[in-house]
Amino acid sequence: AEQGFKLQPADLEKAITPETKWLILNSPSNPSGAAYTRDEMKALTDVLVKHPQVWVMTDDMYEHLLYDGIEFVTPAQVEPALYDRTLTVNGVSKSYAMTGWRIGYAGGPKALIKAMGVIQSQSTSNPTSIAQAAAVEALNGPQDFITERAAVFAQRRDLVVSMLNQAKGISCPKPEGAFYVYPSCAGTIGKTTPDGKVIETDEDFVTYLLESEGVAVVQGSAFGLAPHFRISYATSTEALEEACKRIQRACGNLKD
Ligand SMILES: Cc1ncc(COP(=O)(O)O)c(C=O)c1O
């Protein structure tokens, strides 16, 4: 959390061994909403350039969901020397609100893409031609709604961050992108619910929110970092306002 949920170049350097094959990078990120600036990305790609055995899979799914004027960057763009060992992954689920169409896509070196096709054609049922055509329409069609939508998401992020920071025991950083916030619930650990249950973990906390207020969030331990929880703000402002009010109430009802 102190590093804004971002991988630090020195930690990346330390983690790479001769056995390392891939780095999977996701910016803006699910679940933290963190996004790397150009300088931060360059610092990571500078490390990768020194290790030619390491390929990069960059999940750019939230490319268009960035706020406060932050520029989107992706590894092969920041460091063209990585181009020949980068697989760039994207999809229409988030930017085009087409989750149900099940279309993702990837760009990378020809031999790799060909091998992926060989495996996929034998092991999955494959995307329908109808969904593929719809995705082409989305990508080639008018794009102006994307910035309009991002502006609405930014307002929702600000609302959720502000309301969560007013909840007792919750501390919520303001993320750069995607549609998630990843607050800490450390201040609720050890407290007791009105039913007499002690909150020992983030899982206890999210269960308490669900059972007492009907608010569904995901415990941070599911993503490998506790005690946190993830909220998706890809829903209406009214629903978010109501949910945050309920979270505030639930936190206020906890006893020392
Ligand atoms: C970072 C990231 N990549 C990829 C996906 C996959 O989306 P889909 O399976 O809808 O294409 C998600 C969905 O939550 C995501 O958060």
| DSSP per position, the chain | -TTTT---HHHHHHH--TT--EEEEESSPTTT-----HHHHHHHHHHHHT-TT-EEEEE-TTTT-B-TTPPP--HHHH-GGGGGGEEEEEESTTTT--GGG--EEEE--HHHHHHHHHHHHHHS----HHHHHHHHHHHHS--HHHHHHHHHHHHHHHHHHHHHHTSTT-B----SBTTEE--B-GGGTT-B-TTS-B--SHHHHHHHHHHHH----EEGGGGT--SBEEEE--S-HHHHHHHHHHHHHHHHT-B-
Mean pLDDT (the chain, rounded): 96
- CATH code, 145-252: 3.90.1150.10
Mutational test site, ligand 1, from 26, 36, 58, 94, max ligand atoms within 8 Å of CB:
94
- Give the residues of the chain that fall short of pLDDT 70: none
Domains of the chain by residue range: 9-140, 145-252
Burial class (CB within 10 angstroms; exposed 0-12, middle 13-18, buried 19+) of 164: buried
pLDDT at 194: 97
Rounded to whole angstroms, how far apart are CA atoms 133 and 113?
Answer: 20
What six digits make up the tokens of 76? 């092969």
- Model confidence pLDDT, tens digit, residues 117-126: 999 888 887 8
Mutate to test the pocket of ligand 1, among 25, 27, 30 (most ligand atoms within 8 A of CB): 30
For 69, residues 6+ apart whose C-beta sits below 8 A from its C-beta are: none
- Pocket flag, ligand 1, residue 31 (CB < 6 Å): no
Residue 102 CA to ligand 1 center (angstroms) comes to: 10
What spacing in Å lies between the alpha carbon of 34 and ligand 1's midpoint? 15
pLDDT score recorded for residue 229? 98
- The CB density around residue 6, as the number of other CB atoms within 10 Å, is 19
Ligand 1 neighbour 207 (Cβ under 6 A)? no
Q: How far is the CA of 188 from the centre of ligand 1 (A)?
A: 30
Q: Which two tokens stand for residue 132?
A: 């593929």
Residue 86, ligand 1, Cβ within 6 A: no
Q: Does domain 9-140 have CATH number 3.30.1380.10?
A: no
The reported pLDDT for the residue numbered 124 is 81
pLDDT of residue 122: 87
Tell me, in angstroms, the distance from the centre of ligand 1 to residue 61's CA.
7
Look at the alpha carbons of 210, 152, 138, 71 in this order and tell me if their dihedral is positive or negative.
negative
Name residue 108's amino acid: G
Question: Tokens for 90?
Answer: 């994207």
CA dihedral angle for residue 37, residue 43, residue 49, residue 52, rounded to 10 degrees: -90
Closest ligand 1 atom to 29 CA: 1
Cα–chain center distance at 203: 19
CA distances, 191 to each of 102, 127, 163, 203 (Å) = 42, 48, 20, 14
* C-alpha 241, offset from chain centre: 21
Verify whether ligand 1 is closer than 6 Å to residue 25 (CB atom). Answer: no
Of ligand 1's listed atoms, the one at least distance from the Cα of 104 is 11
Which pLDDT score, from 0 to 100, does residue 146 have?
93
99 lines ligand 1 (CB under 6 A): yes
